[in-house]
Amino acid sequence: MRKKIVAGNWKMNKTFQEADDLLFEIADELNDKGRGEVDVIICPPFPYLEMAYDIASDNDFLVGAQNFSQWESGAFTGEISASMLHSMGITHSILGHSERRTYFGETDKVIAKKVDLALQHNVVPIYCCGEVLAEREAGRHFDVVRQQVDEALFHLGKEAIQMVIVAYEPVWAIGTGVTASSEQAQEMHAFIRGLFTQKYGAEVSAEISILYGGSCNAKNAAELFSNPDVDGGLIGGASLKAADFVAIVNSFE
Ligand code: PGA
C-alpha cells in the first residue's frame, strides 16, 4: 500500500539558530503527538541538512533537500550533487518545484535528468508539477500536468517509477493563501494517477504517493487528505511553525 507522507519545504528561510530551534520543536511535537502511519520529511536549506540529519537520527522524521544539480560532479561552482546528498545520508529531494521552474528556468528536460541522478544515487525524488492560473482559467490544467509528468517521468521503467513521489502543486495556490478546493485536488490527483495507470498499469499506479501542495495548512489539511487520491501534502509556509506542521501531520483520519 502506498505511503502517507507530509513533507515540509522550508524554502530559503531561517538562520542557523532558528533552524536548530525549529528542528527540535518539530521533533518534540512529533514525540508528543506522534505521526501515526505518516512519513514526515523535512526539507531545510542545504547548509542545515547535516544538522537536520543528526536531529532526525534520534527522532521520528526523515530529511530531504529542496533541489540539486543536473550534473553528476565537476566544475559547476555553487552546485550540489545528488551523490553528495546520498553520501551524507539524505534520502529525499524535492525536484522541479515551480519556484525552480519560474526563477531558475528549469524545464522538464532538466528535471528529467535530475530525476535520473536521484534514482542512480538512491535519493527519492519528490517531483512537483502543476499549472499556473492562466492555464487553469483557459481549461488547460490537465494538458499542462500531463505534459510535465510525461516529459519528466515517463522515460522511467516500472521499477524506477515506484521510487518517485509526486506533488501536485497548482502554482496559483502556492504561498497565496488560496488553496485548491478539495474537489479540485481530488480531480487532479485522480487524473495524475490515471496517467500512471495508463502508462504502468493499475498495480503500479496504486503504489505511487501523490501529495498536494499550495497553501495547505492545519485548518484545511484534514479535508484535503480525506480524498482517496490525496496521499499527503508538501507544505511551505505552514511547515515553518512546529505546532502547525505537526497538526497537519496528524490530519489524516
Ligand atoms: P505553501 O508552499 O504551502 O507556502 O503554499 C507550498 C510549496 O511551495 O511547496
Give the pLDDT mean for 133-137. Answer: 96
Task: Look at the block and give the residue holding cell 502543476.
Answer: 130
Q: What is the pLDDT of residues 226-242, one digit of tens each?
A: 999 999 999 999 999 99
Q: What is the pLDDT of residues 35-46, one digit of tens each?
A: 999 999 999 999
Range of the domain at 29: 4-249
Task: Look at the block and give the residue holding cell 521533533.
Answer: 27
Q: Which atom of ligand 1 is nearest to the CA of 173?
A: 5
Q: Tell if the pTM clears 0.95, that is, is over it.
A: yes
CA of 55 to the centre of ligand 1 (A): 24
CA of 214 to the centre of ligand 1 (A): 5
> Is 131 in contact with 170 (CB distance < 8 Å)?
yes
Q: What is the pLDDT of residues 50-71, one digit of tens each?
A: 999 999 999 989 999 999 999 9
- Round to the nearest angstrom and report the end-to-end CA distance of the chain: 16
Alpha-carbon gap, residue 145 to 230, rounded angstroms: 16
Domain count, the chain: 1
Give the pLDDT mean for 160-187. Answer: 96
Q: Is 233 in the pocket of ligand 1 (CB under 6 A)?
A: no
Q: Sorting pLDDT into bands at 50, 70 and 90, what band is 1?
A: confident
pLDDT of 253 reads 84
Alpha-carbon gap, residue 251 to 253, rounded angstroms: 6
Going by DSSP bridges, is the β-strand pair 38-43/62-65 parallel, antiparallel, or unpaired? Answer: parallel
CATH code where residue 55 lies: 3.20.20.70
Residue 73's Cβ-side half-sphere holds a number of Cα atoms within 13 Å equal to: 4
Residue 97 annotated in active site: yes
What does pLDDT average to over the chain? 97
pLDDT of 5 reads 98
Question: Which of 234, 240, 241, 248 should be mutated for ligand 1, with most atoms under 8 A from CB?
Answer: 234
